[in-house]
Structure 1
Amino acid sequence: MSDYRIASIPGDGIGVDVQIEARKVLDRAAGQYGFSLQWTEFDWSCERFATSGTMMPDDGIEQLAGFDQILLGAVGFLGVPDHVSLWGLLIPVRRAFAQYVNLRPVRLLPGTTSVLAGRGAEELEMVIVRENSEGEYSTIGGRHGSGAGEFAVQESVFTRVGVERIIRYAFELARTRSGNVVSATKSNGIIHTMPFWDEIFAEIAAGYPDVHSEQCHIDALAARMVQQPERIDVVVASNLFGDILSDLAAAVTGGLGMAPSGNINPAREHPSMFEAVHGSAPDIAGQGIANPVAQILAGSMLLEHLGELDAARAVSTAVEKVLAAGEVATPDLGGKATTAELGTAIADALGGYQSDRK
């Protein structure tokens, strides 16, 4: 029996609430599919920063290095600026473990509706492949001067290695899906980095004649995501563009509360980290009304990355089954169930799943 070591970082606010439910569901799946998950919990969070001055200890990366995977809850706490949580925890982990793929699959789940009128599930399924380790998220630059003459400089970093590997990942993924990939660019206005990105995209596309590819300016692509989402399957984008487009994609396919994501180390040389897209929502933390679906689906992605494919598929199927039935739903889904009640319903629904693998 496989025994996996998983680092649990609940984070802040509802991150703590939904992490409990995700672990409940994953443990149930592990028991049914013949493996175990050994959890180690870390209190690294914005709340910790507010009391200790650090998001995680100085040896935090070394502590995480020995784990198979990481399950991260939402982070964010009143009085702690967002850039503190990003640069104090998320980005250091992503870069230390070469998690250069931020994978954000989005789809309209059963029992939910889109803000786009008249759009069904068959039209609202896509995946954003976001470069996760360089690009516009750089520390190079600074602020200078004061008063009317004050200015800020922010540098972007695009390496050939970084751009090639994320684009190639997107093409390989497209081969397993519809065979369509679109690159988000803005080379008509950003004179150096985006033409560089476009050139590499064209070079790699030439090696995938079986995949339909196109380049689209991010503003036009954002409009397409709203007006013609059925035309989009795999999107590959730089760090900033991918961040923006993935939130938009989640918003049109049921909301941020339903969207998981993975920070992937494709070579599997280091742990990958899985999280919900939504924030910590401190206004409803601890009230038992948060929707745990995104965190549970992030757990499904974690199981898939471990190679426990049947268990991963069972978890996502259980989520769909419960949502489709509509009998147990949190307030954001129009119901009156608590966070724990929805988590338990999904865990119980695992019992009805039968693998189609022979």
Structure 2
Amino acid sequence: MSAKEFRIAAIPADGVGREVVAAGRAVLEAIAADGTGFSFAWEEFPWGSDYYAEHGVMMAEDGLETLKDFDAIYFGAVGWPTVPDHVSLWGLRLKICQGFDQWANIRPVQFLPGIESPLRKADDTHLDWVVVRENSEGEYAGFGGRAFAAREDKGEVAVQSALFTEVGCERIIRYAFELARTRPRKKVSSVTKSNAQQYGMVLWDQVFQRVAAEYPDVATESVLVDAMSAKFVLQPESLSVVVASNLFADILSDLGSALAGSLGLAPSANLNPERRFPSMFEPVHGSAPDIAGQGVCNPIGAFGSAAMMLDHLGLPGEAEGLRKAIEAATAQGVRTRDVGGGATTREVTEAVIANLPAR
């Protein structure tokens, strides 16, 4: 039987994205080389801020057409001081997410052994939850504009509109319930600010109540975003699956990762669950221009994202083996400086590879 070959598009993009994608590829190649019966065919694309400096766009005009036949996309980070952040984000990452309808952004919050958390509860309480982020509309729909720039006396006006559709709300909420059914604690926490945002988020609340009725085996709660921010800190043991709009889940997942020890630890998946288009896997952290090129960035988030990609490709055993290798490496004290260690990116990569399960 011939080996299965997965076509993966690598987009390192900017800053430390280049380093963590290279590290993640090394780990994935080590897994594939261990008699697994599959292989990766990589194609790397030079898109990002350097590409913008040369071409005036963040990615090739036919980039989506080029990417659409890949099995998955492995992404680094976007952003650099020479390009305005809204240009770099909308020109590359969001262009891919929206162009491929990657409507489910999954961000696990994982507390790893050997990593000190600022939460005292983490010392003696098992903490493990997942933030499910609506990734296609909401506050990041891109609706709005600026006008009246020629007015005198600060007369310019900017309008930014959040967009909530019943279809968009229902599919992400239903995804959260299906995910909750696979977890030890079957609970979904919905997050809105519907007391102040009385149209879009009231629609979300109503859809949540309707969908929840179809899952009587799953516990539920609806929490305002400010109260949920406090719950992340004060009652994190009560969480399992947290579902929220594009903006709120973005912020809450970063808070969760900081509570786990560092944004450098956090993986994510941008999924098109229907598989009409390739899904994209990326660490949550940004491009970190202050440490880019120094070989000290934390690759753990990229490794966790690679594990999520393995799951998506139908390789759950390999994904679990990679997660265990990550835990073993951090438990051994191999940590980059953002989590209190002195290891380089390469040393963490080598430690994870060394801890991969033998076949």
- Counterpart check, 1:58 vs 2:46: no
Note the aligned Cα RMSD (angstroms): 1.3
Aligned to 2:172: 166
Q: Name the aligned partner's letter for residue 21 of structure 1.
A: A
2:130 matched residue in structure 1: 127
Select the residue among 70, 89, 93 that pairs with 2:92: 89
> Is residue 121 of structure 2 the alignment partner of residue 115 of structure 1?
no
1:184 to 176, 185, 191: 191
User: Given that residues 116 and 339 in structure 2 are in contact (C-alpha distance below 8 angstroms), is that contact kept between their aligned partners in structure 1?
Assistant: no
Residue 66 of structure 2 aligns to a residue whose secondary structure is helix
Does residue 332 of structure 1 match 2:332? no
Alpha-carbon distance in structure 2 between the residues aligned to 1:165 and 1:333 = 36
Give the residue type in structure 1 aligned to 2:86.
H
Which among 18, 21, 27 is matched to residue 20 of structure 2? 18
Number of residue pairs matched by the alignment: 352
The one-letter code of the counterpart of 1:161 is V
Q: SS of the residue aligned with 1:103?
A: strand
Matching residue of 2:37: 34
TM-score (norm 2): 0.95
Structure-1 separation of matches of 2:96 and 2:124: 34
Question: Tell me, what secondary structure is at the counterpart of 1:274?
Answer: strand
Any conservation in 1 of the 2:321–2:357 contact (CA below 8 Å)? Answer: no
Write out per-residue CA displacement over residues 179-220 of structure 1, whole angstroms, 9 at most, x where no aligned residue. Answer: 100100111100110111100000000110000011100000
Check the 8 A contact 1:138/1:154 in 2, yes or no: no
TM-score, normalisation: structure 1: 0.95
Identity level (%):
52
Deviations 1:49-88 (A, max 9, x none): 1232111010000110110000000111112111112110
User: Aligned partner of 2:171: which letter?
Assistant: R
Instruction: Quote how far apart the aligned CAs of 1:138 are.
Output: 2.2
Shift in Å, 1:121: 7.0
Matches within 5 A, 1:293-312: 293-312=300-319
Give the direction of change, closer, same or farther, for the CA distance of 1:252–1:333 in structure 2 (3 Å limit).
Answer: closer
Contact 2:263/2:284, CA 8 A, preserved across alignment: yes
Q: Residue in 2 aligned with 1:216?
A: 223
Q: 5+ residue gaps in structure 2?
A: none
Q: Which amino acid aligns with 1:252?
A: L
Residue in 2 aligned with 1:342? Answer: 348
Q: Distance in 2 between matches of 1:337 and 1:150?
A: 50
Q: 1:246 aligns with which of 245, 253, 262?
A: 253
